[in-house]
Each structure stands twice: as C-alpha cells, then as structure tokens.
Amino acid sequence: QTGPVIDMPVPASFNDITQDPSLENYIGWVWYEKEVLLPLRWLQGDPAPRVVLRFGSAHYYSIVWVNGVQVVEHEGGHLPFEADISSVVQGSPGSLCRITVALNNTLTPHTLPPGSIQYMADKSRRNYFVQNIKFDFFNYAGIHRPVVLYTTPAAYIDDITVTTSSSDSLGRVQYQVSVVGSTANSLSLSLRDQEGKVVATGDGPVGELKVLNPNLWWPYLMHENPGYLYSLEVRMQAQLDGTLLEDVYTLPVGIRTVHVTSSQFLINGRPFYFHGVNKHEDADIRGKGLDWPLIVKDFNLLRWLGANSFRTSHYPYAEEIMDLCDAYGIAVIDESPGVGIKLPESFGNRSLQHHLAVMEELVRRDKNRPSVVMWSVANEPASELPPAAHYFKTVIAHTKALDPSRPVTFVTDANYALDHGAPYVDVICVNSYFSWYHDPGHLEVIPLQLTAQFENWYKTYQKPIIQSEYGADSVPGLHSDPPMMFSEEYQQAMLREYHSVLDKKRKEYVVGELIWNFADFMTNQGTTRVLGNKKGIFTRQRQPKAAAFVLRDRYWRIANESSCLPPAITSHSIFL
C-alpha cells in the first residue's frame, strides 16, 4: 500500500543485500514490517502475562509501532532496547501482532558515533549529499541483531547485579536483585557449579553468597580451566491480586577480581598481559548482521592464534559474542560507540548527555560479565582540544559510579603532552602506526619512536600502558623482498619491529598489545582503500596472511613464558 517493498533478512545490514547501488550508501529513513501470531496463552489470564518486544540493536535511531501504536523510541545502535507491549496486544482483537520499525542511520555531531551531512551543491553536477564520518569502517545500517518476543509474569525479576571477590580459599558473590510489579514477594537464590551441585544459597534482594575453595574465572591460557562459570538461579514468588506468581532467571557468574597498579594489570591477583586483537562486526553480504557460523569461526581462530583478549572496537558487540567470551575465558575491553569524536561541537553538553546515557545502557547490559575487565569510553577522540578535559572527566567518573569494580580507559592517538583526557583513565591505551601513517616505508624508525612513545607516556602518568592498535595493510598474495608497503612481508616486518620493543617494555609497565586488525573489513570508498581496510592478519573471509603466523608464534611463546597452559586436546566435543 505504501509503494515498492523488498524482502530484508533480520538480522543483517541492508546495504549489501541487493544489487541497488543507491541502497549501498543510503542515508535516511527505512521501514521494516513483520506480522506474527501470538500464542493465545500470552493474551489471557488474570493477571495476564507481560509481553515484551526486544531488539538486540538497530542502527541508529528507531521508532517502533505494534498494531499501529507507538511503543518505543531509541537513539543509538549497538545496544538493546525493549518495550512492554502487553496493553497493545492484549487489548487488540485476535492474536495478530504487526511490528513496524522506522529506522534512520543519519549521524550528526551529537550522535555516537558522530558524523555530519554535507550537501554538494555544485551546479555542474547533480545535487547530492554525503554522510561525513571520522572513522575508518563502513557505516552499515539495519536491524543487526535478533528481534524477539518474550513473556514474564506480571510481577517479575527486572535486574540482577553481581560483583565478586576472593581471598585464600573463599569466594564471595555479592548480589542485588530488583523486582517489579509486586512488593509482596520473596526471593531465593542458589549457586551451582558446572556439575550442577549447589555450592551456596541465599535469600532476599541483597546479600552475599560464600563459596569454599572456588573455581576462579581465569582468562584463556592463564589457567588449565579457563572461563569457569557458575550458574546463579534467582527464583521469585509474589502475590498479586490473590494470585501466586513465579519468575526464575539463571545468570552465569564468574568469580574473579581485577586490580590495576602503577605498572601492572592484575586478574585474581596475578599479572595479566593482553596479547590479543582488535576486531569488527563485519563480513561479506550480512555486513554487521549477527552470524553464528562466523562468530564460532572467529573464536576458533582466536584460540588457534593464542589470543587471550580483544577490544570491542569501536562499539559494543553482540551479546552472543560476549557470552562466548565469558565461556572461553577471552578478556574484553568493552568499548562504547564513542569513535570519531573530532568536532568541537561533539564535546558540548548535548553530546555529553547522550554519551552518559549510552554508558548507562552498556554497563547495565554487560556489568555481570567476568570477561569484561575494563570499560573504554571512546576511541581516538580529539582529546587535545580543551573541552575534552571536562568531557572525559565527566564520562569516566559517571562510568566508575555505575561500576566501581572495573578500571576505565579511552583509547588515544594524541600527543602525550597535549591529551586532556588521559589524567582520568586507569590504563593508558595508545594507538600508533609508525612506518605506516608516520614515516611510511621506514621500518627503521619504529624502535626509536615506539620506545620514546612508551617512555614519555609512563614518565608523565605512571600508569600501565597498552599498545591498543598497531599494524600495516597487506594485500593477500602481494609479495616483496625487500619488504615494500602493502606486501605481506612488510606487514610481517612491521610486527617484528614493534614486538622487539614490546618485549623490553612488557618487563616494566606495558601490560598489553592488540593488533589492528583481526581481519580485513569494509570501509567507505577512497583512494587509500581497495575494497576496505587490509590491516587484518586474516582476510575478510578468515584466511590467514603471513602475519597471522608471526603473531601466533609470538602469542604462544608469551603464554608459555608466563601461564599455565591447558592440556593437549585429544578429542572434540560439540555443543549445540
């Protein structure tokens, strides 16, 4: 009735699905619609169940209607949002549920990430406009993560917050449970180990569970049994209008501690060295759409590589990815979508308030994850600008108030002497591309420049440092000896030069290195990008370049030097 429509898979980015070039770079409103039939039991009862519509993420501004009634509006991609649609569907005749979504991917100076619209009014050409962005990955759009309908009782468990600590042979799990819909309720909790044995019990909305001789959550390659998770079952019973209601929620819990000193990053009291990667949610055809086979392939490659960590560059990743990090023991620097904050107007109060709201959503989603060992509030902002001091002081303080249990950082590429945000972080995260963007082709500058970088930052701030990005583009199959830029040999040579300096400084105050990037990924078209960014150690199709073997040898050597490796794998168990 509204005009031409096309089928669109969900979850997926819409950009690469069709042969229409105008959709590839489309900016503006798109509309999604789907009709489903709800089970009659969802619509009946006294009290009737609560019916909720949940979106894993949608890029970037969403308005949602159910049966023509607006139910939710949400600003920002990468994070979930939901709406209680009980009154709409239970008040409508029949069980038909028509879900309509209006989605706008326009970026402004006040969104996260920011952007701007430039109108090209050249009279000699056809008028058009472009979306300008200050980040180097393709601005995919669409409903990128699952959309689900679920129910709860009218009185339900709304939120659970868990923090953990341990000392000697005792683990402690502090909990806080929020119930909505009834004040006449009771709560019982039981903590089970991986064999299903109850190891601690509790009751009430606030309390502490004590676990004797706990199995701690350890990162991959730091312990023979990494990623150990207990199951916390929270059971609520409530009286509502004379009816007994029950709600049950099971939360994975890892018992572990994180602490930062002036020169170390400690997990469970032991020094931890990040040897990992930066990634992107990016793949052929589906763009940023959730893809389970790709996710599992990536985790297999991470473990093959000997990587114990990654940063969610440059936005929060899907909950399904985070679940596997918890289970496999992959430590995560959990980053907000604060990438490309370059314009002075992006440091104003309007942007700041949105950034604070985004951090609230991110912390609420991921606060209970043992894999999340640090928050990152931004990547490569213009932190040399004077307004950055107040901006990052406020964002970091707000994040610490939301979650006092984790360190907070942002990733900088500013000069150490000019960075106004660095005084407020717990760990210095620095991006540098010596012999690539600086002194291109001159590998010999790396030892001097990288050593000076580390020494200047540490002398100024006396905080541990992570080399949060470094790398070089390489075109798969392009070879050159002596090494030339864009060849696989040059990428290998650059990594080795960085590693020689990192090996010296990790004995002092450098606590990590994250290669840029895990895999090639799509970007906007430009004269420096040949079908995307080629800094991956794997291709976009997840095939290794020569640099992958350099990094694998290094990461396994580091792990062997400092950690307890797991026993050799002699069989394969497949879990669905």
- Which positions are annotated as active-site residues? 380
**Tokens representing 71?**
């139910």
Q: Give 552's contacts (C-beta < 8 A, 6+ positions apart).
A: 304, 305, 306
3-state SS assignment for residue 451:
helix
Residues counted in the chain:
576
Q: What angle do CA 571, 573, 576 make, to 5 degrees?
A: 165
Q: HEC profile for 338-377?
A: CECCCCHHHHCHHHHHHHHHHHHHHHHHHCCCCCEEEEEE
- Residue 196 amino acid letter: G
Angle formed at CA 145 by CA 143 and CA 149, multiple of 5 degrees = 95
User: Can you tell me the distance from the alpha carbon of 404 to that of 407, in angstroms, rounded to the nearest whole number?
Assistant: 8
* 3-state helix/strand/coil string of 381-429: CCCCCCHHHHHHHHHHHHHHHHCCCCCEEEEECCCCCCCCCHHHCCCEE
Direct distance between the N- and C-terminal alpha carbons of the chain, in angstroms, rounded to an integer: 42
The residue with tokens 């000392």 is: 167
Distances (CA, A) of 344 to 137, 182, 331, 347, 409: 22, 47, 34, 6, 21
182-221 burial code (b ≥16 CB/10 A, e <16): beebebebbbbbeeeeebbebeebeeebebeebbbbbbbb
Distance between CA 105 and CA 32 in Å, rounded?
14
Residue 65 C-alpha from the chain's centroid: 28
CA 14, 15, 19, 20 dihedral sign is: positive
CA distance 173 to 176: 10
Q: Are 314 and 339 in contact (CB under 8 A)?
A: yes
Degrees, nearest 5: CA angle 408-177-173: 60
Q: Check whether the bond before 404 is cis (ω within 30° of 0).
A: no
Going by C-alpha positions, the residue among 383, 382, 362 that lies closest to residue 374 is 362
Query: Given the structure tokens 């794997």, which residue do they identify?
Result: 538
Which of these, 552, 574, 559, 570, lies nearest to 302 by C-alpha position? 552
